[in-house]
């Protein structure tokens, strides 16, 4: 899943990383604060991952998804 995440500083990126690292069913693949993009691999629903991202204090929108 790829999300557009509003990350205005390194602290935002660190909060997103910490939130996703704490979720056992979500694997962070890429975190690009400059592009405001987060790429994850997960068995969880996209809405659940979006909620996790927003719990870090950043607004998030699903940009796309792909299958294996």
Short-list 21, 19, 14, 2, CA closest to 54: 19
Query: CA geometry: angle at 35 spanning 32 and 38, to 5°?
Result: 45
Short-list 35, 37, 15, 39, CA closest to 26: 39
> What is the predicted pLDDT for the residue at 68?
64
Residue recorded with tokens 């694997």: 27
Q: What is the pTM of this model?
A: 0.91
Average pLDDT over residues 8-31: 96
- The CATH T-level fold of domain 2-64 is Alpha-Beta Plaits (3.30.70)
Alpha carbon of residue 2 to chain centroid: 8
Do the strands 60-64 and 2-5 form a parallel or antiparallel pair, or are they unpaired?
A: antiparallel
């Amino acid at each position: 899943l790829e999300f557009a995440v509003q990350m205005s500083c390194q602290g935002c990126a660190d909060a997103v990383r910490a939130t996703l690292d704490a979720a056992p069913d979500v694997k962070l693949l890429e975190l690009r604060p400059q592009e405001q993009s987060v790429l994850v691999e997960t068995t969880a629903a996209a809405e659940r991952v979006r909620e996790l991202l927003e719990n870090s204090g950043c607004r998030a929108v699903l940009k796309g998804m792909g299958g294996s």
